[in-house]
Amino acid sequence: MDTSREEKLAAIHAGIRVCTRCRLHETRTHAVPGEGPADARCMFIGEAPGAREDECGRPFVGMSGGFLDALLAEVGLSREAIYITSVAKCRPPSNRNPRADETGACIPAWLHDQIALIDPEIVVTLGGVALKALFDEDVRMREVHGQVREQDGRRWLITYHPASAMRFPEPREGMREDFRKLAEMPASRDAPPGGPSSVAGNYPRVCSPASEEEDAP
């Protein structure tokens, strides 16, 4: 286990929890920095916390998180080996999409440091908001999902957001297909060197089930 990397990630998380760089801090309960091994070989990047995540301070603990866990299990992957975060760390009011100035403040302040520190081999972008914020592309997910792009020395797998895959058959099948592809990539499967270790917050590990309406996006 790389203690210095864990400490640095914990410091980034601490900074995110008190961040006031955009208006979303005014309405959040908890910022949601992300969680998973500081040396994860695979990172997931979603959109923004929903109601349950805001309540718990943890990513993907609402209904779409349950769907994500089930999909991972279906292809034999373990959430514990993956670092999970989002392009915006605070919940937008009424689950609206995060705005460009909000992700524009958040990504360079925090996500870039998270990626540089964790240094994953594979990054999976979940949904159109993450794709737009990271690649500046307004495209139909059905046209780009499953693409694996090489950028900055990593592979980026483009897929749907679990909240839409949970609700609609076409994204569901598409996301399944993409996760089968992900499971074929060794970096998604292997535990990080040194065994599993996790950097999380001092928040409840168990959150009560969320209603569909409470879930982002």
User: How would you classify the pairing of strands 154-159 and 148-151?
Assistant: antiparallel
Q: Is the CB of 3 or the CB of 128 nearer to ligand URA? A: 128
SS3 at position 84:
strand
Min dist CB 90 to ligand URA, Å, is 10
Residues binding ligand URA (CB under 6 A) = 32, 46-50, 53, 59-60, 64, 86, 216
SS3 at position 35:
strand
Cα separation, 36 vs 59, whole angstroms: 10
Q: What Cα–Cα distance (Å) separates residue 82 from each residue in 23, 57, 64, 142?
A: 29, 17, 16, 25
Q: Is the CB of 2 or the CB of 55 nearer to ligand URA? A: 55
Min dist CB 207 to ligand URA, Å, is 11
Q: Is the CB of 120 or the CB of 127 nearer to ligand URA? A: 127
Min dist CB 1 to ligand URA, Å, is 25
Q: Is the CB of 50 or the CB of 146 nearer to ligand URA? A: 50
User: How would you classify the pairing of strands 122-126 and 42-46?
Assistant: parallel
